Amino acid sequence: MNKEAVGQIFKAGEPNPYGEFFTGQTFLTNLTDTPDGSAGIGVVTFEPGARNNWHIHHDGYQILLVTGGLGWYQEAGQPAQALKKGDVVVTHDGVKHWHGAQADSWFEHIAITAGTPEWLEAVSDAEYTQL
What's the confidence (pLDDT) of residue 7? 60
Over pLDDT 70: what percentage of the chain? Answer: 94
- The pLDDT, as a whole number, for residue 42 is 96
pTM of the model: 0.92
pLDDT (tens digit, 9 = 90+) per residue, 61-97?
999 999 999 999 999 999 999 999 999 999 999 999 9
**How many whole angstroms separate alpha carbon 90 and alpha carbon 67?**
15
Q: What mean pLDDT do residues 42-71 have? A: 97
Q: Mean pLDDT over residues 37-60, rounded?
A: 96
